[in-house]
Each structure stands twice: as C-alpha cells, then as structure tokens.
Structure 1
Amino acid sequence: MGRRHHLPFCEVQMSTTKTEPDTGAPHEDTGAFAWLRALGPRGRRAFGGAFGGYALDSYDYFTLPLSMVAISAYFSLDNGQTGLLTTVTLVVSAVGGALAGILADRIGRVKALMATVITYAVFTVACGFAPNYETLLVFRALQGLGFGGEWAVGAILVAEYASAKHRGRTLGAVQSAWAAGWGLAVLVYTLVFHFLDDDIAWRVMFWTGALPALLVIYVRRHVRDAPEAAARRAASAERGSFGAIFQRGLLRTTLFATLLSTGVQGGYYTLATWVPTYLKDERGLSVVGTGGYLAFLISGAFIGYLTGGYLTDLIGRKRNIALFAVLSAFGVLAYAQIPEGADGVLLVLGFPLGFCMSAIFSGFGSFLSELYPAELRGTGQGFTYNSGRAVGAFLPTLVGFLSESWGVGGALALGAVGYGLAVVALWGLPETRGRELL
C-alpha cells in the first residue's frame, strides 16, 4: 500500500496541481552529486577526511619538485642527486604504504589515516631545517613513510562507504584532491618565491607543510570506519597478514596489480618531478610564468580525475586505465618534443596532458579495493600501490642522469615506457566493475 504524503495546510489550500499516485517504489537519485548523497552523513564525513588528507599529501609532496631548482643551487647538486631526492621519497613510501595498509587492517582505517598524516607533516616541516643535502635526503625519506600510506588508507575508508554503482566516481573525486593540493602548492610557491630570496624561499615552502595538523583534529572528532566492513575485519583472524596477499588465490592479483601501479606511477612521477625544472631551465620561464603553465596542467588534472571517475563506472576499470595510459604516453612524447619558440603550444598541450595522466588514476581506488577482501584490503592495496610507486620511482632518477646528455625534455620521453607497461599488466587482472565489497 502506498505511503500518504501529508502537505502542510497552506500548501493544500494553494495547490491546484495534480500529482501522480505514489506507487511505493523508492525514488532513484540520478542527480550530478548522487554519488555524494548516497554516502550518507558518516560516509560524507569520511570523504571529507580522505579528500583533505590526500590534498595535503599532494601539497607536501610538491614542495620538493617546485623548490628543486633552488635546492639544487643552494647545495650545489647535479641532476642525478636532485632526482634522488624524489626517488628516495617514493621508494620509502613503499614501506610506509605497506605498513599503513597492515595498520589499517589491524587497528582501523581512521587511526591509520591520522598516523600517516602526522608523519608526512612532521617530516615535511623538518626538511625546511636541513643544514645539508644528506640531512635533507633523510628527512625526505622519512616523509615518504606517511606520504606512502595516506592514499591507500583514505581510499579504502571511502570505498567501504560507497555503493558498487557509484564507487568509481566517488573514489575519482577523492583522487581529484591531488590536483587541489598540487594547485595550492603552485600558488604558495609562486607567492613565496616571488617575495623571498631563493635561499630562504625553499625552506619556507617546507615549513608550510605543517597545515595537515589541522586536518587531524577534524578526523579525530568526526570520522569513523564503515561499520559493516569493520565488523567483518574484526571477525577475521587473518586481518593485516602480509603473507596472505602472496598466497595462492591472491598471488596473481598482487603481482599484476603491482606491475600496473609501477607503470602508471613511473610515467606520472617522471612528469610531476621534472616538468617544473624543464619549464624553468630549458624553456627559460620565470617563476610566475612556470606557475601559469602549471596551472593549465593542474586544471586538466582536476577535470581528468572527475571525468575518469565517471568513465570507470561507465566503461569499466580496465578499459578506463588502458584508454588513458595510451593517451598519456602519446601526450608525454608530444610535450617533450615541442620545438623552441612554440611556447604557446606548450601551454595549450599542458591541459590535455594533465587530463589524461590524472584520469588514469581515477579507477585505482575502486579497482584495488575491489580486488581484495575486507580483512586484507588495506594490506593488499597499500602494498601494490606503493610498491609500484617505489619501483616506478627509479624513472625520475634515470631521467635526472640521462638529462645530462639528452636534456630534460628528451629524457622525459621515458615516461611513455611506464604507461606501456601498465597496459601489459591489465591482461593479468579481472574486471571488477559492479563488484560488492565483502
């Protein structure tokens, strides 16, 4: 029997419009933000915590690439030493990601999220006090411990609140926080390096990495783990077992997911690390000019994350990744080969390049979450994503060494190799679109 709709007295008197009879069928929300409303109040608070954590994770990461020219000059570094700063961050992030994943399965998503945010914030600030290159290298490595774990933990936290129908676009929206943090870092970089001398400006950039401390207060007060997933995790004696993701039944998934992550992140971090240096050193752009060019790249990235999120629900996880891996490879090659004097083309091409290299990540949060059961979800996602990041991190270092003979622009083309590897890895993984999280 249909439900009666009781209108206020004044509306009954004024209404002259006929209404369709209520059949009792639930109304399907098809609005643009249906995915956000479907999370419910607790899920939306979790989304806010994960979005903020990932944005500030991105902000703290990009303090290094944006300050790289000034740091290199201050400590008299060559390109190989400079690239090693990025590589050590990403390599250690594999350890941090694996540890955070295990913690997320054992003590809960929210507690692990707070631990990762505090870690990357403390050591980002510490980088600003480094008296020499060796100390900076150590602090940057320790920053990688928190940096590596935040995304995996935050993505799982939100994935366990999201429905199968909306999970791709929901996690794509979380991924878009990376572009938001990147954009904030470029804005602060432009202001700090415009008003301060380079020798102190790079230190100030690192000191602003204290911002995430405010987020921890919010997460502690307002965010909770998804109840059903937490109950399943608590009931399992195997939760947080590192060896379990290499056992029969999950071994193939773990190996190919790691290979996929290696390819995608090798390509991405090659660009993220060296494009600012390429624009400033080889294209001769000023600090403000570099910020303008990066604004096109970041705008494309933000829209790419959101678009990729919708596409991964529409066409599937694997097709979305394959599509944008191919487009990103071509975009890298084109960007690196733009001739001198064609800076207008460089500016315009930054938007589609940022779009493609970011849209490929939109399906990662949902895809990796759907490959593992609740009791191993943190461990599996933390290991595969961050181990891939660590191996892929050797590409930025290789670019640094090859740039001495090839130039930064020529060496950037190596990023296309990473995207090719990602396409190969997809052959060993199942399609998971529509899969419920168990």
Structure 2
Amino acid sequence: MEPFKGLDSTRLNFNHIKIWYTSGMGFFTDAYDLFIIGAILDIFSAYKLPGFVLNPLYTGLLTSSAIFSAVVGQLFFGVLGDLIGRKKVYGVEASLLTAGAILSALSPNILWLIIFRTIVGFGIGGDYPISATIMSEYANVKDRGKLVALVFANQGVGSVVAVAVGAISAFTLPPDLAWRVMALVGAIPAATVIYLRRKVPETPRYAALKGDTEQLTKAVSFVLSESVTAPAKVKVERMSIGEFFSKYWALLIGTAGSWFLVDAALYGTGIYSGPIVSSLLGKPSSVGTEIIYAGIPFMVGFFGYFTAVALMDRLGRKLIQTQGFIVMAILYAIVAFVMITSGTKVTGFLIPTQMAFALYVLSYFFIDFGPNTTTFVIPSEVYPTSYRTTGHGISAAAGKTGAAISTFFFGELLYSIGIKGVLEMLAVLSVIGAVLTIVAIKEPKLKSLEEASQDKVVVEEAK
C-alpha cells in the first residue's frame, strides 16, 4: 500500500495555492532585499548622509551581513525542522525578517543598520529549508516541481517591486527618508503570512516520520479538503546522521556545490548591479535613473523564474539547471570577449554597446530559468524525510556562503581586475556548475518523494 498515493495523485487545488502563498512571501523579501541594499548604497554614496557615510569596510559589511547571517539561519532552522518538526518553527523565521526589516528602517546609524540587517538575514535563511520542504511535502507529484519553483519565483516579484520602490523613493523623497522607506517595504509581505504559517498543519511526511497517525490524517485532509481515514500505522524510517552522510554525501556535494556557484554569480552581480551597468552604459544623470538601469537585469530575470515554473515538470530539474549554467557561461564569455578595456576601465565594445548590454542582461534570464531556481527545488525532493530540511539547509547555506564571499569581495574585484576579468571568472564558474550538475545531481521529476529520496515507509493495515 502507498500511504501518500491520494496526496501524490490529487489534482492541483486551492489549498496547494494557499500553501504556496504562505510559503512564498519570505522569498519576496529575499529578492527585494538583494536589490534594495544596492539602491540604498547608491543613496549613501551620492548624499553622504550623517551617520551613514561609507568606507570599504562598512560597504562590505552592509552588503554581506544579511547573507552571512542567512547561512547560520539556513543551518540552524534546517536542523531544527528535522528535529522538532516543520510546523513548530514555521512563522518564527517570518517574524524575524519582519522585525529586522522594520528595525533597519529605523536605524540611527550605519552600525545599527548592519546589526538589524543581520536579523533580516537570519530570518531569510531560516525560510529556505522550511518553506521549500513544506511545499514539497504537501504537493502532488505532477505539480510538485512547479509548486516549489513558484514559492521561489516570488523572488522575481520581489525584484520588480524593489526596482519600483527604489526608483519612486529616490525620485520623490528626501534621501534620508527614501532609503528608510526602501528598507521598510520589505517587511510587509512577510508580515502578512506570520499568522497563516502558524495555522498550517504539520506536513504528512513528518507526521509519518513521527508515527503520528492523527497528524497525518489531519494533514492529508487539509490538502484534499475532505475527511480521510489513514492506515492504523504509517512510519517513515529514520536513519542515523552517519547513514545520511554515508549515503548522500555525493548528492550533497552536487546540490551544495551548484548552489554555491550560482549564488556567487547572482549576488555579486546583483548587489553591484549599479556599478556594473554604469561601467557598461556610462554613469546615469541621477540616483533614480541609476536605480532603474541597475534594475533592468532583474526585470528580465523575472521572466526567467516563470519560464522555469512552466517547464519544471516537463523538462526536468537537471536539464534546466545544466542548460542555465551553460548559457550563462557563453553569455559571460561573449560579453567579456567583445569588451575593450584600458586597465580595468571599459572604453568600448567590438559590437554596439546596447547589444553587449542586452547579452549581459540576458544572463539573468538564464540564471533564473536555470540554477537559481532549480538549486532551490532539487534539495526539497532528493533527501529523506528525516534529513530533508537539514539537506536543504546545508545546500542553501553553501549557496549563501558563495553569495557572502562574492558580495564581500566583489567591489575589490571590480577595482582590481575590472568587469571584464569578473565576467571571465564567472564564465569559468558556470562551466564548473554545469559539469557538477551532470555528474552529481539526480532527476526527481514525476517521482514520489519516497522514490526520489529513497525513503523507507512501513505501513501496518488497520485490523
């Protein structure tokens, strides 16, 4: 007997969408935060506000503090989600990032802003393993890929909103108020789902791991919107931590390594999008215009997220991730090749400037229709129930480690080797990502979680 057959085979319904919304708002804030801190840096650089004057150390800490704390949050909440359950910690992470965003907007100086952004990062980090796993463990087989990808695709919405909020604030508000509004808006989406997260039942797979038939029945009934009768006893076998690492170490290298590589590319180019775009197109006439120009890659990436959603359960995760890395490598290499430099400064292109810029911007489409989305989806499916949030948390923490290293040193890299050298480096990293995906990633498309993760389920029929 297959205890999750009804859950796996049910059609997409309103409760799946409800879980998607509840799970997705943290990722809106994640992407919003990625872009908006760059816009805030533009404000601080242009206006030298009292208490918020930048130096290289403050710039590095401001861009990377939330990312470093996200690494801790991903590991902490990932382990906690497997130890005490998904539901018991769900909502805590959203409360943290809401509070951190509000406090960031009220910061009296740059040191406090760095501290409060650390809180935001810890909450964002916790959201990765818990939200991904909850959506995965509630989803049906046919739509699981697109549902988990849709949770992550809220990043696309967050990016576009960040561009709009950043530009409008810069054009219409005094600088000291503009950056505070930018920071504050990030708290709103997460705040709307705190209550909803506390009301979501424990997932059916975790209930089965605990042998809790009552909670299992409640969870399945929640998704199916009807009363169901569970078998007398359903038990997902728990393996030891030694067994987990012995059996899944190669897969962990694949999911963690590919996430590290894509985030090194995405976060460095994302947070420093303003300086990069300015080096390609020239310095804009105002901060507001600079924010709009810097947002163009993110707006193109928006369509990449939803292309990935549409094709996730058709093409499969592994193919989408591989082609994304390959096309990223090609685009980075072409833009670097056609770039004419004097030292580290861009002086022109072998092709029209607008064409070179379009090729660079297109890389964002394939980052999102590629490894930025799939590295989030795959770890929620391929690890066993007893270590699913742990495996996802480790993989996500590796990604954010790549992001933290990239953002902390990216400014120095732009200064020392220039945008041409940076793009050449990213091309090489993208090739490595494609190879790692081909060698180490398993394809979970259209498989039950039990089949994809090799979970062992024991069922005792009612007597």
The TM-score bracket by the shorter chain reads: 0.7 to 0.9
Select the residue among 342, 351, 367 that pairs with 1:357. 367
Taking the aligned partners of 2:111 and 2:244, their CA distance within structure 1 comes to: 36
Of the three residues 207, 224, 231, the one matched with 1:231 is 207
CA offsets per residue over residues 70-93 of structure 1, 9 Å max, x none? 234443434564233223322221
Partner of 2:82 in structure 1? 105
Q: Comparing 135-144 with 331-340, which one deviates more in the overlay?
A: 331-340
2:332 maps to 332
Answer yes or no: is 1:213 the counterpart of 2:191: yes
261, 265, 268: which one aligns with 1:267? 265
**Which residue matches 1:126?**
103
Query: Which amino acid in 2 is paired with 1:203?
Result: R
Match of 2:18 among 35, 45, 51: 45
Q: Aligned partners of 2:256 and 2:243: how far apart in 1?
A: 12
Shift of 1:276: 2.2
Q: 1:200 to 1:101 in 2, by over 3 A?
A: same
Equivalent residue, structure 1, for 2:283: 284
When the two chains are superposed, the root-mean-square deviation of aligned CA atoms in Å is: 3.0
* CA 281–320 in structure 1, closer or farther in 2 if over 3 Å, else same: closer
Q: What residue is the counterpart of 2:315 in the other structure?
A: 315
Instruction: Judge conservation of contact 1:69–1:277 (CA < 8 Å) in 2.
Output: no
* C-alpha distance 43-395 of structure 1, shift in aligned 2 (>3 A): same
User: In the TM superposition, what is the alpha-carbon distance from 1:395 to its structure 2 partner?
Assistant: 1.8
CA distance in 1, matches of 2:167, 2:243: 44
CA 160–407 in structure 1, closer or farther in 2 if over 3 Å, else same: same
**Residues 1:169 and 1:140: Cα distance change in structure 2 (over 3 Å):** same
Q: Does 1:249 align with 2:261?
A: no
Structure 1 residues 93 and 335, CA, compared in 2 at 3 Å: closer, same or farther?
Answer: farther
**Partner residue of 1:54 out of 24, 27, 36:** 27
Which residue of 1 is the match for residue 455 of structure 2? none
Deviations 1:134-193 (A, max 9, x none): 333322223211111213221211111222332222222222210101111111111111
Deviation per CA, 1:330-353, whole angstroms, max 9, x where unpaired?
A: 333445665667553366346522
- With 401-410 and 363-372 compared, the bigger mean Cα shift is at 401-410
Closer, same or farther: CA 71–411 of 1 in aligned 2, 3 Å: farther
Aligned mates of 1:117, 1:333 — CA distance in 2: 39
Q: Which residue of 2 aligns with 1:396?
A: 407
Residue 40 of structure 2 is matched in structure 1 by: 67
State the 1:256 CA deviation: 2.8
**Which 5+ residue runs of structure 1 have no aligned equivalent?**
1-34
Q: Which residue of 2 is the match for residue 25 of structure 1?
A: none
Aligned residue for 1:7? none
Residues 104-147 of structure 1: per-residue CA shift (max 9 Å, x gap): 22343344331111111211222233344333332222321111
CA distance in 1, matches of 2:331, 2:57: 25
Paired with 1:95 and 1:238, the residues of 2 have a C-alpha distance of: 28
Q: What is the aligned partner in structure 1 of residue 449 from structure 2? A: 437
Aligned match of 2:458: none
In 2: Cα distance, 1:245 partner to 1:265 partner? 29
After superposition, the Cα gap between the structure-2 partners of 1:111 and 1:417, relative to the gap in structure 1 and judged at 3 Å, is: farther
Aligned AA (1:265): D
Which of residues 153, 159, 164 is equivalent to 1:182? 159
Q: Which moved more, 1:383-392 or 1:370-379?
A: 383-392
Partner of 1:146: 123
The SS at the match of 1:102 is helix
**3-state SS in 2 of match to 1:389:** helix
Pair 1:300–1:281, CA change in 2 (3 A): closer
What code does the residue aligned with 2:306 have? L
User: Would the aligned equivalents of 1:101 and 1:379 in 2 still touch at CA under 8 Å?
Assistant: yes
- Contact 2:29-2:158 within 8 A present in 1 as well: yes
Matched residue SS, 2:272:
helix
Distance 1:109 1:68 in 2: 36
Distance 1:139 1:335, change over 3 A: farther
The runs of 5 or more residues in structure 2 that have no matched partner are 1-7, 212-234, 340-345, 451-463
TM superposition shift of 1:288: 4.0
Counterpart residue identity of residue 283, structure 2: G
Calculate percent identity across the aligned residue pairs.
Answer: 25
The alignment of Structure 1 onto Structure 2 pairs a total of residues equal to: 401
Equivalent residues of 1:399, 1:408 under 8 A apart: no
- Contact (CA 8 Å) 1:317, 1:433: kept in 2 or not? yes
1:269 CA displacement: 0.9
Deviations 1:287-338 (A, max 9, x none): 4433443554233222211222343423332221111011122333445665
Deviation at 1:391, TM superposition (A): 3.4
